[in-house]
């Protein structure tokens, strides 16, 4: 077929492949009315994370955020799930783990670059005045809902978009436009009787029908800045950002590992970093090492808090001096309090020296939440 006989949609699909977009689909820009009640209910019962776009109407009605929307182009980029150079295991050197969606360069940047290139192409090809609004997960629209409508895959019971080719290991982005395209067919749900993600979730965050209580999700909890609620600390294991469990257990993800995009390749020393050095990392070094990753968007404090929890979960006694230093010197109550909890988990009960240290530190502590952590650690070690 000659190039001129192809429709604009066909030419866009061909161009998307040249750009390195792994999957593309086209949907109508009709309101997502079917989600309105669900989102309102979610907010009402407090199951939202608070990181979502706050205006529900704008998430449902494309016409509120775009002048005369006709179509939405949905794109997916597949990301790697296995490291090629896993850091060597050295006895006593404990490492944390960033979830896979944080490997490599921040996916927001990668998606934006691909979408900008696609938009530039469409602008050149279209015979009329065209307008666009690209967005990734911080935008108004719900990525998975758009992708499902555009036929990229179905939304599983884990709430994620599952594609046939790449499983759920895809980053999603979408472009609203005033151009009209023939819509693609949505894919029917393929979960069947499977409940692996629901039973595999360590915090019971998944409600069973694709909805979740985002506040119970470790992916959300590892991104908060305050004290980590006690019930999640042990469940975090050694993760310091995000959670991959409901993806790892999904049969659609079995054997899926794609290395299409150089910039998504993880730096093993950074996505599985040694934990102890993280506790004293400077702002500058943190930015240099982790600044490019999606997992650094909340700054270094949540990562350091999570690293302390991971050290506690390893019961790493060699971390005690560094944890005591945090208690004595760190200016942030969340770090002092979490370190006190970790010392309570790791230290031996008969260690009078550590108990005396904690009592002295407790007497100097002015933050109420941290004080509570000190008290609990002292009580545990004296029991």
Q: Which residues are catalytic?
A: 137
Degrees to nearest 5, angle at CA 288 with 300 and 324: 40
- Tell me how far apart the alpha carbons of residues 88 and 96 are, in angstroms, rounded to a whole number: 13
Nearest CB to ligand SF4, comparing residues 152 and 370: 152
- Tell me how far apart the alpha carbons of residues 312 and 310 are, in angstroms, rounded to a whole number: 5
Contact 101, 145 (CB under 8 A): no
Applying the rule CB under 6 A, the residues between 100 and 159 that interact with ligand SF4 are 156-158
| The binder of ligand SF4 chosen from 205, 293, 335, 358 (CB under 6 A) | 205
- Candidates 76-84, 112-120, 245-253, 275-283: pick the segment binding ligand SF4 (CB under 6 A): 245-253
Residue 230: phi and psi, rounded to 5, are -55, -40
Q: Roughly what angle, to the nearest 10 degrees, separates helices 300-314 and 333-346?
A: 10
Is 199 among the residues that bind ligand SF4 (CB under 6 A)? no
The contact pattern for ligand SF4, residues 10-49, with x = CB under 6 A and - = no contact, is: ----------------------------------------
Task: Output the CA torsion sign for 361, 364, 365, 368.
Answer: positive
Instruction: Report DSSP letters for 28-55, one per residue.
Output: E----HHHHHHHHHHHHTT-S-S-S-S-
| The binder of ligand SF4 chosen from 144, 240, 243, 312 (CB under 6 A) | 243
Is 252 among the residues that bind ligand SF4 (CB under 6 A)? yes
Applying the rule CB under 6 A, the residues between 152 and 191 that interact with ligand SF4 are 156-158, 191
- Tell me how far apart the alpha carbons of residues 52 and 198 are, in angstroms, rounded to a whole number: 22
Nearest CB to ligand SF4, comparing residues 77 and 218: 218
For residue 226, what are its two tokens? 């305050």
Nearest CB to ligand SF4, comparing residues 196 and 289: 196
Applying the rule CB under 6 A, the residues between 209 and 228 that interact with ligand SF4 are 212, 217-219
Is 245 among the residues that bind ligand SF4 (CB under 6 A)? yes
Residues near ligand SF4 (CB under 6 A): 156-158, 191, 194-197, 201-203, 205-206, 212, 217-219, 243, 245-246, 249-252
């Amino acid at each position: 077929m000659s190039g001129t006989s192809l429709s604009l949609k066909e030419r866009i699909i061909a161009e998307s492949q040249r750009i390195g977009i792994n999957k593309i689909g086209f949907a109508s820009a009709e309101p997502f009315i079917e989600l309105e009640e669900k989102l309102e209910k979610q907010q009402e019962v407090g199951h939202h994370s608070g990181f979502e776009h706050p205006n529900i109407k704008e998430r449902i009605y494309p016409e509120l955020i775009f002048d005369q929307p006709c179509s939405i182009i949905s794109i997916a980029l597949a990301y790697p799930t296995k490291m090629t150079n896993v850091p060597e295991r050295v006895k006593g050197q404990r490492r944390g783990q960033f979830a896979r969606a944080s490997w490599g360069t921040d996916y927001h940047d990668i998606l934006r670059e691909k979408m900008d290139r696609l938009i530039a192409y469409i602008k050149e090809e279209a015979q009329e005045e065209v307008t666009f609004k690209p967005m990734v997960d911080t935008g108004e629209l719900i990525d998975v809902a758009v992708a499902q409508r555009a036929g990229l895959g179905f939304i599983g019971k884990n709430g994620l978009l599952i594609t046939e080719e790449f499983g759920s290991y895809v980053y999603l982005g979408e472009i609203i436009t005033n151009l009209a395209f023939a819509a693609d067919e949505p894919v029917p749900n393929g979960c069947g009787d499977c409940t692996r993600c629901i039973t595999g979730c360590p915090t019971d965050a998944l409600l069973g029908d694709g909805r979740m209580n985002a506040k119970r999700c470790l992916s959300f909890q590892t991104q908060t800045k305050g004290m980590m609620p006690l019930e999640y600390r042990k469940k975090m294991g050694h993760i310091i950002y995000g959670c991959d469990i409901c993806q790892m257990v999904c049969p659609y993800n079995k054997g899926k590992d794609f290395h299409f995009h150089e910039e998504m390749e993880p730096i093993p020393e950074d996505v599985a970093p040694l934990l102890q050095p993280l506790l004293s990392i400077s702002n500058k070094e943190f930015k240099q090492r982790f600044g490019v990753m999606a997992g650094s968007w909340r700054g270094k404090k949540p990562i350091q808090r999570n690293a302390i929890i991971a050290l506690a979960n390893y019961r790493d006694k060699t971390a005690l001096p560094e944890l005591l230093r945090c208690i004595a010197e760190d200016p942030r109550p969340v770090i002092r309090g979490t370190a006190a909890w970790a010392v309570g988990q790791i230290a031996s009960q008969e260690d009078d020296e550590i108990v005396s240290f904690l009592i002295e530190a407790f007497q100097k502590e002015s933050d109420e939440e941290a004080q509570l952590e000190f008290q609990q650690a002292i009580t545990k070690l004296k029991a």
